Structure 1
Amino acid sequence: MKRETLFLKAAVVLMGIPVLALCIFFVPAVSNFMAELYPEAAYLHDLLRIGLYATAIPFYIALYQTFKLLTYIDNNKSFSELSFKSLKNIKYCALTISILHVLNTPLYYLMAKKVDPPIIMPVGNGLIFAALVIAVFAAVLQKLVQHAIDIKSENDLTV
C-alpha cells in the first residue's frame, strides 16, 4: 500500500505547486486588471486580492489534511478517529473555499462585464462546483469511516 500512497502524496504536493504559482503571479495580475477596469473603485481590486488569497488558506489546510490521511492509511489507521477528523477538516475546508468563491462572484461578474469573452464567470462557477463536489465526497467518506469505526468497536466489544 505504501507505493500507492507515495504516489498520492506526490500528487498532493504537486497540486500545491500550481496554486502557489497562481498566488504569486496570477492573483496580483488579476487584481491589477481589476484596478484598470474600475479605476474609480480602488477597493474592488483589494477585495478581489483578499478573496483569492483567502481561498488559498483552506486549500493548503485541506492538502495537509489529505497528506495526514494518506499517512494514516500507510500506518493501517485508515478506519480510526484520526481519519474521521481529517475527512471532517477536508469537508469544512472545501465548504469554506466554495463560500469564499460565492462571495467573490460579484467581483467576477464585474470583471466579466468588461471582458470579451466573459470566461471569468464560468471559471468562478466551476471553482464553486468543484469545491462542493469535494465537500460532498469527503462527507460520504466520513460517513463510511464512521460506520466502519462503529462496526469495529462493536466487534471489539463482542470478542
Structure 2
Amino acid sequence: MKRGTTFFLKMAVILIGIPILALCIFLVPKIGSFAGELYPDIAYMKSLVLIDMYAAAIPFYLALYQAFKLLSYIDKNQAFSELSVKALKNIKYCAITISTLYLLGMPFYHLMQMRVDPPGITAIGLVIIFTSMVVAGFTAILQRLLQEAINIKSENDFTV
C-alpha cells in the first residue's frame, strides 16, 4: 500500500479524535451539569454521568491509538503479523468496553430523557451502543481473517 493512502488514513484517525476531544472538554461538563439540575435530589447524578462519559472516552482514544499503530504496521510492510492481529483485538475490546459503559449509563440517560421536552437522549445512547458493537463485530471478523491469512502464509513459507 502506498504511503499516501496510509498517511491519509492516519490524518483521518487524528481528525476523528479532535471533535471527540472538543466534546469532552466543552459538552460533557454541560451534560453533567444539566443532569444535576434535572435531578437535584439525586446528588450523585452529575458525577455518574460525567464518569460514564469520560470513562467511555478512554477506550475510544485507546482504539484510535491502536488504529494508528495498525496503519504504522502497514507502512512497515508488517500488515500480516501478530502485531496487527493484536491491534485489531485491542480495538475490538475497546469497542466492547465503550458499548458496555454506555449500556450501564442508559438508566441515567433515560432519567434525563423523561424530563427533557424533545426526547432523544436515549436514542443517541442506543446509537453509540449499536455503533460500538458493529465496530467490535467488524474488527473480530478482520482479526479472524488476518489470523487465517497469517496461518496460510506461514504454511506456505514452510512448504517452500
State the TM-score, normalizing by the size of structure 2. Answer: 0.98
Question: 2: distance between equivalents of 1:50 and 1:111?
Answer: 16
Matched, 1:86 2:87: yes
Question: 2: distance between equivalents of 1:94 and 1:35?
Answer: 28
Deviations 1:38-72 (A, max 9, x none): 00111011001000000000000000000000011
Query: Which sections of structure 2, spanning at least 5 residues, go unmatched?
Result: none
Question: 2: distance between equivalents of 1:91 and 1:31?
Answer: 28
Partner of 1:24: 25
Deviations 1:10-34 (A, max 9, x none): 0000011011111111110000000
How far apart are residue 117 of structure 1 and its match? 1.1
**RMSD across aligned C-alpha pairs, in angstroms?**
0.5
How far apart are residue 118 of structure 1 and its match? 0.9
Deviations 1:100-152 (A, max 9, x none): 00001001100000011111011000000000000001000001100100001
Q: How does 1:92-111 map to 2 (within 5 A)?
A: 92-111=93-112
Partner of 1:56: 57
2:44 match: secondary structure: helix
State the TM-score, normalizing by the size of structure 1. Answer: 0.99
Question: 1: distance between equivalents of 2:88 and 2:47?
Answer: 33
Partner of 1:135: 136
Partner of 1:39: 40
Question: 1: distance between equivalents of 2:23 and 2:118?
Answer: 21
1:42 match: secondary structure: coil
Count residues in correspondence: 159
- 2:55 alignment partner AA: A
Question: 2: distance between equivalents of 1:94 and 1:12?
Answer: 15
Deviation above 2 Å: which 4+ runs of structure 1?
Answer: none
Deviations 1:65-118 (A, max 9, x none): 000000111111111000000000000000000000000100110000001111
Query: Which sections of structure 1, spanning at least 5 residues, go unmatched?
Result: none
